[in-house]
Amino acid sequence: MQTCRLYLVTPPALEPAVFRDQLAQALDAGDVGAVQLRLKDASDDTVRRAIDLLRPVAQSRDVAFLVNDRPDLAHAHGCDGAHVGADDMGAADARALLGDLQLGVSCYDSREAAMLAGEAGADYVAFGAFHPSPTKETGIRADIDLLRWWSELMELPCVAIGGITPANCAPLVQAGADFLAVVSAVWSHPDGPGAGVQAMADAMRVAG
C-alpha cells in the first residue's frame, strides 16, 4: 500500500509574517506532501504578500506550495500549483493557465466530477467532507466507499478532507487515501503546529 501523506491547508485567516514561523515549525516536525494557501475573499495584494512570505518556507523544504482558487496568481508568483473547487475556475481552464504546474480539484462526493477532473488534466482529486469541520461548513458528506472505489480503479492520487483528526483518520488511510488534508488538527493543536503534525503522522503510521 502506498504511504498516505499529510496535506496542510492554511487557516482561513492569518498574518503571513507571524504564520511563517508556525509553518516552518509544522514542516520541520514530520513528512508533509503539500501546503495549500487558502485565503477566501482576500484581496489580490493580500494573497500575493502571503505567497511571497510563505512559499519559500515550503519550497526550501521540498514541499509543494499550492494556492486555492487562484491559478493565475500561482502561475505568476512561482508556486507549484493551484487547487480549484466548484465555485472557482473550471478544471480545464485552470489546467490551461497552469501549464505544467500541479492542479488539484475538489470533487466532494461525486465520482463523475472526479472522473471529469481527471480527464481535464487534474494531478489529484479531493473528496470530502468526511467529518464535520470547524473550518468550513458544508452540507456534503462523502462516504468512505468513495475512497475505496477510487483507489482501487484509478491511478490519479486522491486527497481526503473535512474534519480529519488523529482520532478519526485511520479508516481514511486504510481506504486508500493518498493524502489527508487537515487544518484545525495542526494549526489549533494545544501544543503547537509541530505537535499537531507529529500527532497526525503517528496516527497515520499506525493506521497504515
Beta partners for residue 108, in sequence order: 127
The C-alpha cell 491511478 sits at 155
Q: How far apart are CA 182 and CA 115, in angstroms?
A: 24
Q: How many domains does the chain have?
A: 1
Residue 104, H or E segment: strand 102-108
Range of the structural domain that residue 185 is part of: 5-207
One pLDDT digit (tens) per residue for the chain, 208 residues: 569 999 999 999 999 999 999 999 999 999 999 999 999 989 999 999 999 999 999 999 999 999 999 999 999 999 999 999 988 899 999 999 999 999 999 999 999 999 999 999 999 999 999 999 877 777 789 999 999 999 999 999 999 999 999 999 999 999 999 999 999 999 999 999 999 999 999 999 999 8
What are the respective helix, strand and coil percentages of the chain, to the nearest 5?
A: 40, 20, 40
pTM: 0.96
- For residue 154, give the CATH number of its domain: 3.20.20.70
